Chains A and B, each alone.
Chain A
Amino acid sequence: MRRLAPMLLAALAVLAAACEKKTQPTPSGEAGTQAAQGQAPSPGGTPAGSDTILLGQVGALTGGQATFGISTRNGIELALKEANAAGGVNGKKLAIRVYDNQSKPEEAAQAATRLITQDKVVLILGDVASSNSLAMAEKAQAAGVPMITPSSTNTTVTEKGDYIFRVCFIDPFQGFVMAKFAREDLKLGKVAVLQDNKSAYSIDLSGVFTRKFTEMGGKIATTESYSQGDTDYRAQLTAIKKTQPDGIYVPGYYSEVGVIARQAREVGLKVPLMGGDGWDSEKLFELGGSAISGSYFSNHYSPDNPDPRVQKFIADYKAAYGGVPDALAALGYDAARVAIEALKRAKDLSGPSVRDAIAQTKDFPGVAGTVTLDDKRNAVKSAVVLKVGDGKTQYVTTINP
């Protein structure tokens, strides 16, 4: 008996270690590789063998932004499956290795390094949260490996260097969209801002919103802040309530926004909340309940879009994963397709040629809008405003750059 306890403990530790490992190369990484090998078995069995092109993804699969990474991964996986079914890239199959960044920049940097030095991927897709993408971009730029972020909207991400691209619009635009919508469509006069002080994304959005909204003749009642991971926002909301605003701009992520909405109603704030694409997750409805209904956020795409390309994507996605794809899945899908097209056009698979091929992307028909990369490697696209209803979103308007 005396020996049993330490042994059990050791077994537990091994189990924990095994679990830890499993979270890192996710099922999709293995599935992608297996799918590729199933069709064209490579003798060495190495995923980066001569008949396979290995891509990498870093995303949040655990932690506070987990649905972002998972949605993105599903979108990417779908694009790769389609491409492989259609014959791959110049006769080679595509595979992807996915690492989890646990919603933390330091993990993202480490995962990117691993993809570059160990797995030797030809390009990297990811992340969603700008703070994580910034950490990855540094590594990718230094190594000369092209990186496409599907949905990091913070301006500075692509400023890290000429190897960093994105297929979404940037925050100044998103802040402008909501300011314009609040002022012209909702006709709000005084708006309070509640920003996430730990996220580059949130600070950037709130800065642009504040500037544009004031320029358009509105007034900012107060600017309060919270930190990612908080669950009690009553102090800030109580302070906001005192200023009696007509609306509250909360450019945060769904995991916090849902709870903020509930507590805002609780302290007696009945005005609409407004936000950005960080709200986009089915979890928002669960966390926010009825409190979040009647709020608005700017987004990349609307599932209501009747375009057959979008509807086909939604149907395929539903068949594969169940549920309506959010914008992050759509952007993951677009990013992977832009990457695949670029790989087809590239002279060879070296960093510089892939980079040049991506940079030439023009009028690419994505499900979340047409992608044309400008000379700053940003996509120029329009945004939609969605209204949160009972368990789903509703298209309100499109705002052009």
Chain B
Amino acid sequence: MAQLLQHLINGLAAGTIYALVALGYTMVYGVLKLINFAHGDVMMVGVYMGYATAFAIGREARGSFLGIAAVFAVAMLGCALMGFLIERFAYRPLREKPRLTALITAIGISFALSYGFQLDIGFLPGASPRAFPEIIEPTEWLIIGDRDVVVWNWQVISFLIAVGLMVGLQYLVFGTRFGRAMRAVSWDHRVAALMGIPTDRVIALTFMLSSGLAAGAGLLYAIKDTSVSPLMGLYVGLKAFVAAVIGGIGHVPGAVVGALVLGLVEEFVVGYAASTWRDAVAFGFLILVLLVKPGGLFGRVAAEKV
């Protein structure tokens, strides 16, 4: 029982982080119908920005609220800027081209980032994994029994940050003018432009938002697993993408539910069966969902001409 509870906590901790990354996929897909495969790698770059910031601040980064805030701010703003540049120079020129072109470009950017960051020149971090500085000093927040179940402060903090970011996003999309513009662009960006919505700006802002969110998620992930490497974006990105598809891509709460389900499924498979089964079960679950509900758990099926 205690073990089950511990697995539940671990699975939720992993799931909330997948959720934040999945939201980025879902937002960009919702607005542009583009699967931004570089999303996970943008997250990775954000993690390294946070890493560099934490080292630049030094000891004060650890434990102090201002230090942590600075690490998150630099990473999230830096990534937002990078998201803007990627959209401006890689995706916007291809917007009127067949959708496949942008998809291939996204994969290209993904590889350029994840392999470029393995080079060991100048500011690039090199291929070896590194230990992420403990910016939140790990302490046991809740202990049940003889350490049968342990909840850590960073698990709670991550969960709260993640939930906060999700609620904020939900409000942004459904409660603000910008959100309305986003939804309008997602409906049909040409018609939206005719109605006086600055589509380019809305799309650019969506990219910045999703990239900033990815950086935040990446930092939470790095705090959780303590190790960062240039290939982390590929792993996490793929998982988050699966989560977004399970939930119904383009659907905000769907992405969150999909991610939580995926996090829990993975944790239980590894805990009770074997880690070898983890990816097989995760992707098997994806296939099952797509067979039964092709639009994902929450999505609608839109007939599309191929």
Residues of A within 8 A of B (CB): 5-6, 8-9, 12-13, 16, 19-20, 22-23, 61-64, 66-67, 197, 224-227, 229-232, 234-236, 238-239, 242, 255, 258-259, 262-263, 266-268, 283, 286-287, 289
Contact = CB atoms under 8 A, between A and B. Distances in A.
A262 B225 CA distance: 9
A268 B150 contact: yes
B89 A5 contact: yes
B128 A67 contact: yes
Interface string B118-146: 11000000111111000000100000000
7 contacts: A6-B93, A62-B127, A231-B225, A238-B271, A255-B229, A259-B225, A287-B130
A63 B128 CA distance: 7
Contact of A12 (B112, B127, B131, B225): B112
A111 B270 CA distance: 35
B127 A61 contact: yes
B115 A20 contact: yes
A44 to B, nearest CB: 31
B226 interface: yes
A236 B276 CA distance: 12
Contacts of B270: 226, 235-236
A66 B128 contact: yes
A251 B62 CA distance: 32
- Classify the interface of chain A: helix, strand, loop or mixed: helix
A272 to B, nearest CB: 18
A83 to B, nearest CB: 26
B231 interface: yes
Most chain A beta carbons < 10 A, residue from B88, B108, B111, B131: B131
A283 B126 CA distance: 13
B242 to A, nearest CB: 16
Given A64-B129, A64-B229, A238-B10, A5 B150 contact: no
Contacts, number: 119
Interface string B201-227: 000000000000000000000001111
Sort A-B residue pairs by CB-CB distance and give the 4 closest, nearest first: A66-B127, A235-B271, A231-B225, A235-B270
A62 B118 contact: yes
B278 A227 contact: yes
Given A5-B89, A225-B276, A286 B147 contact: no
> For chain B, which range describes its interface: under 10, 10 to 19, 20 to 34, or 35 or more residues?
35 or more
- Classify the interface of chain B: helix, strand, loop or mixed: helix
B274 A197 contact: yes
B274 A225 contact: yes
Contacts of A263: 225-226
Most chain A beta carbons < 10 A, residue from B88, B127, B130: B127
Interface in B81-132: 88-90, 92-93, 105, 108, 111-112, 115-116, 118-119, 126-131
B232 A238 contact: no
Given A62-B127, A227-B275, A286-B130, A262 B231 contact: no
B14 interface: yes
B41 interface: no
Given A9-B89, A61-B127, A262-B226, A197 B275 contact: yes
Most chain A beta carbons < 10 A, residue from B138, B271, B272, B279: B271
B152 interface: yes
Given A61-B127, A239-B3, A286-B131, A232 B14 contact: yes
A268 B138 CA distance: 13
Contacts of A66: 118, 126-128
B266 to A, nearest CB: 8
A72 to B, nearest CB: 14
A197 B150 CA distance: 27
Interface in B9-29: 10, 14
A23 B118 contact: yes
A264 B295 CA distance: 40
A23 B232 CA distance: 20
Contacts of B231: 63-64, 229
B251 interface: no
A207 B271 CA distance: 21
B89 A229 contact: no
A234 B10 contact: yes
A184 to B, nearest CB: 30
